[in-house]
Chain A
């Protein structure tokens, strides 16, 4: 392997991992201004034009603050937990294709970190690890509110992961592959020459279950029980301060972007668009823009929902996951199997 090949692989893997945390800064601004928009108030508007510099300044503040650790905390696990949160959030993106194959100077460069033939399973393995970041934070801080948050989160994430995986099984069935590139490829083109062949149309139920479960997996309102401020102070990260707290903040927003990117790849056609055939470098850039645009829309839905819905009660959360989403996801599998075998909907 030449040095250039090595550099290309490193760029494929590292660029998204560096860009995603970078996007978090404007994303926080979007969230706060969006909150202002929805609640009919200005939102941050003092630092820089339209408050744009508020988030960079906040990041600087988080870096400069003194990290305070409770005396009774388990120092090793307390320090390790935020690192796991960021790792799990970033590692998930590795198998998501974010653009058309780039062809430069006789080389074909697939725009994906690692084109695993078990890509979807890899994603579920990584998201199932993110629970440790929260559980460890809750336990190691030696605070009852943190512990309650950690316990809630472990139950919540396991419950909703089940519904999420089962919903995604419908897509796996339709694509007959676990490789995310195949999932994107099967969504190219149109039905009846005007409906895009996106999985969201035949699998709207599956998309709904997947997206709802994604809210629970990222601990966002209406499922932010692990950090429910009104009852648990700040839940699992009550005792965290400075950049350690910032790491959880970062991980939450990266998780939102990765969950949206995954929903786009599985249900909304990934980087494809009907009638668009990427050619050359420009085509690749446009495909990345399409992917980013679709993802940005879903990220906005996350913000929108957060400032629209109230929080669930814990027993409501559990019964929704187990008694509604999971049975519906099982029904979805049967529907998709019938569609795949009985009709020509899927190629």
Chain B
């Protein structure tokens, strides 16, 4: 096993295990922290795919900003651990979620097999160069880029309107 393969498996295990911890942990703050670790593992995977830009953006945007806001809200609400639901055996839900997990895993496996060699259709020039990414954003993908900006602005204005109307009332 080469060095990068070892790093990949370590990062992949980290990502998956902590994603699972995020789902099953009863304490919301620790759930969020598990998600932070999972995002970190994902960032390492991006670095291995020679996409350091995506990795850094992943850390800045998700780990550094969005999840900190999650924590901020959770800490303000001061949520404690959820108690285990009464009568914890729920046969129907257990069977249904099992079916969902198996079918989703099967779907993903099938897709990965069908897609063949991932390197074959890959861009010969990987997007490591930030100048190239920017040029693409402002030429070929200008319309989606601006559309996303407008969408974010709309969300911002929406939040403002909600808060402001409450203040005046």
Q: Do A and B come from one complex?
A: yes
Which A residues fall within an 8 A CB radius of B?
77, 116-118, 121-122, 124-125, 128-129, 131-132, 135-136, 138-139, 147, 150-151, 154-155, 157-158, 161, 176, 178
Contact A129 B64 (CB under 8 A): yes
> Quick one: closest B residue to A147, CB to CB?
B75
B60 near A125: Cβ-Cβ < 8 Å: yes
Is residue B59 contacting chain A, with contact meaning CB distance below 8 A? yes
Mind listing 11 A-B residue pairs with CB under 8 Å? A116-B52, A117-B129, A121-B53, A125-B64, A128-B60, A128-B65, A129-B59, A135-B71, A138-B75, A154-B69, A176-B131
A77 and B57 CA atoms in complex are apart in Å by 26
Task: Give CA–CA (A138, B60) in the complex, Å.
Answer: 22
B64 lies within 8 A of A118 (CB): no
Interface residues of B (CB under 8 A from A): 29-30, 33, 36, 52-53, 56-57, 59-60, 63-65, 68-69, 71-72, 75-76, 78, 128-131
Supposing A154-B68, A154-B72, A158-B69 touch, asked if A139 and B29 sit within 8 A by C-beta, the answer is: yes
Per the bound structure, the CA–CA distance linking A128 and B65 in Å amounts to: 7
Residue of A116, A128, A131, A178 near B59 (CB, 8 A) is A128
Bound Cα distance A124, B64 (Å): 9
Taking CB atoms, residues of chain A closer than 8 Å to B65 are 128, 158, 161
- Across the interface, which residues of B come within 8 angstroms of A135, CB to CB? 68, 71-72, 75
Residues of A within 8 A of B53 (CB): 118, 121
Tell me how far the C-beta of B52 lies from the nearest C-beta in chain A, rounded to whole angstroms: 6
Assuming the A-B contacts A135-B75, A147-B75, are A121 and B60 also in contact, with contact meaning beta carbons closer than 8 angstroms in the complex? yes
User: Which residue of chain A is the closest to B72 with respect to CB atoms?
Assistant: A154
Contact status B63-A129, CB under 8 Å: yes
Residues A155 and B72 in contact, CB atoms below 8 Å apart: yes
Minimum CB–CB distance from B68 to chain A (whole Å) comes to 5
The answer to whether B56 touches A154, judged by C-beta atoms less than 8 angstroms apart, is: no
A117 adjacent to B128 (CB under 8 Å): yes
Q: Which of A77, A128, A157 has the most CB of B within 10 A?
A: A128
Contacts of A131 in B (CB 8 A): 64, 68
Cα–Cα, bound, A129→B59 (Å): 8
Q: A151-B75, A154-B71 are in contact. Are A118 and B59 (CB under 8 A)?
A: no
A125 to B56, CA, bound (A): 6
CB neighbours of A128 from chain B (8 A): 59-60, 63-65, 68
A118 and B130 form a contact (CB under 8 A): yes
Distance of A138 Cα from B72 Cα, bound (Å): 11
Q: How far is the CB of B125 from chain A (nearest CB, A)?
A: 14
Nearest CB of chain A from residue B17's CB, rounded to whole Å: 16
Q: How far is the CA of A142 from the CA of B59 in the complex (A)?
A: 27
**Across the two chains, which residue of chain B brings its CB closest to A176?**
B131
Quick one: closest A residue to B58, CB to CB?
Answer: A125
Partner of A122, one of B56, B72, B75: B56
Give the CA-CA distance A161 to B71 in the complex, in Å. 17
Cα A251 to Cα B78 in complex, Å, equals 27
Contact partners of B57 in chain A: CB under 8 A = 121
Known contacts A138-B75, A154-B72, then 13 further A-B pairs from the complex at CB < 8 Å, ordered by chain A residue: A117-B129, A118-B56, A118-B130, A121-B53, A122-B56, A125-B59, A125-B60, A125-B63, A128-B63, A128-B65, A129-B63, A132-B68, A151-B76
In angstroms, Cα B26 to Cα A345, docked, is 58
In the complex the two chains form, is B130's CB within 8 Å of A178's CB?
yes
A35 to chain B, nearest CB (A): 32
CB distance from B57 to the nearest CB of A (A): 7
Which residues does chain B contribute within 8 Å of A178, judged by CB atoms? Answer: 130
